[in-house]
Amino acid sequence: MDDSYFMSQAIEEAKKGLAEGGIPIGSILVKNGLIIGRGHNQRVQHDSVIHHAEMNCLETAGRLTAKDYKDCTIYTTLSPCPMCSGAILLYKIPRVVIGENQTYMGDEAHLKDQGVELTVLRNQECVQLMQDFIKEQPALWNEDISV
Amino acid sequence: MDDSYFMSQAIEEAKKGLAEGGIPIGSILVKNGLIIGRGHNQRVQHDSVIHHAEMNCLETAGRLTAKDYKDCTIYTTLSPCPMCSGAILLYKIPRVVIGENQTYMGDEAHLKDQGVELTVLRNQECVQLMQDFIKEQPALWNEDISV
């Protein structure tokens, strides 16, 4: 079970979101090699402005202690926006694996400043999912990142 | 309708949370002088790790455009944590009115760096709500800020 496997699981979540008519971004929370949370963007499905993929993933993982989060890595198909970056900082998750940051660059600078370890995989399937989606639904994507 | 009035509404939300057995932090979203969202921390009530007061408030306000958020001020009884600060940055809410930051200092530095206007009211009712709560439920408070 390596970064590539866990990213494939985050991509599965992104595809679930797409199949539901939503924005194809997925996320997985892994603790000591086990998936303990998974989620995808819920803007369309639940008219949610806070359930970005990473947030939805953290919510499904449930209430954990600070000690639990210290052993976690969060995987996300797209660079985490300021809100999701902030959630990662609140819960002091030490490592983030990012599918791609070519389509959108989140608040990686702030995460790095605060000592979070970032790995960017430059995964082409993640890029393609977003590029195809943005071509189809530009307004929805702009709403999701508030531009 | 001034900051003091809107903060009293955020305090009402905090008290609703307390009456439900939850963490007494409340928030209000105001657009052009009208309250368009309100919420309070839902960690206990819904076992939520993402519905901090400000997040719950943004969620109840619903899906808005970037143009809408530009005309908003968010009121919160307690200094916004990194997650809530990140949500404020994602949605580019230009002004935050904070009840108090004596009990807990959120990511005000990052908000200021990004040009958000902050007003801290040093409201003693907000301080008292938190001090009483933390005395009663220290573990719950630590969980909420992940320490």
Q: What residues are paired with B56 via a beta bridge? A: none
Residues of B in contact with A91 (CB under 8 A): 49, 146
Catalogue the active-site residues of A: 54
Residue of A nearest to B90 (CA): A82
ipTM over 0.85: yes
Model confidence, pTM: 0.98
Give Cβ neighbours of residue A36 (< 8 Å, ≥ 6 apart). A29, A30, A61, A72
Write the Ramachandran bin of A115: left for phi over 0, alpha for psi from -120 to 50, otherwise beta: left
Residue of B nearest to A113 (CA): B110
Q: Is B85 on the interface with A (CB under 8 A)?
A: yes
DSSP state of A10: H
Q: Is B55 on the interface with A (CB under 8 A)?
A: yes
- Using one digit for the tens of pLDDT, what is the confidence trace for B22-60? 999 999 999 999 999 999 999 999 999 999 999 999 999
Residue B145 CA to residue A65 CA, distance in Å, equals 10
Q: What residues are paired with A30 via a beta bridge? A: A35, A73
CA angle, B84 as apex, B65 and B119 as ends, to 5°? Answer: 90
Distances (CA, A) of B24 to A44, B55, B57, B73, B89: 30, 14, 14, 20, 24
Q: Is B94 on the interface with A (CB under 8 A)?
A: no
- Using one digit for the tens of pLDDT, what is the confidence trace for B97-131? 999 999 999 999 999 999 999 999 999 999 999 99
DSSP per residue, B66-91: HHHHHTEEEEEEEPPPHHHHHHHHHT
**Other CB atoms within 10 A of residue A1 CB:** 10
Residues of B in contact with A48 (CB under 8 A): 59
Contact A59 B43 (CB under 8 A): no
Q: What is the overall mean pLDDT for chain A?
A: 98
> A62, A61, A69, A104: which is closest to A83 by C-alpha?
A104
Give B52→chain A minimum CA distance, Å.
Answer: 11
Catalogue the active-site residues of B: 54
How confident is the model at residue B2, as a pLDDT?
96
Torsion on CA atoms A16, A20, A21, A27, rounded to nearest 10: -30
Residue B86 CA to residue A82 CA, distance in Å, equals 5
Residue A59 is nearest to which of B50, B82, B146, comparing CB atoms? Answer: B50
Using DSSP, state whether B51 is helix, strand or coil.
coil
* Helix residue ranges, H only, A20-98: 53-61, 66-70, 82-90
Q: Is A86 on the interface with B (CB under 8 A)?
A: yes
Q: Does residue B134 surpass a pLDDT of 90?
A: yes
Show the low-confidence residues of chain A (pLDDT under 70): none
Write the Ramachandran bin of A92: left for phi over 0, alpha for psi from -120 to 50, otherwise beta: left
Using DSSP, state whether B58 is helix, strand or coil.
helix
Contact A47 B63 (CB under 8 A): yes
Residue B1: pLDDT band with limits 50, 70, 90: confident
Give B69→chain A minimum CA distance, Å.
Answer: 9
Residue A58 is nearest to which of B49, B65, B89, comparing CB atoms? Answer: B49
Give B48→chain A minimum CA distance, Å.
Answer: 6
Residue A59 is nearest to which of B49, B81, B110, comparing CB atoms? Answer: B49
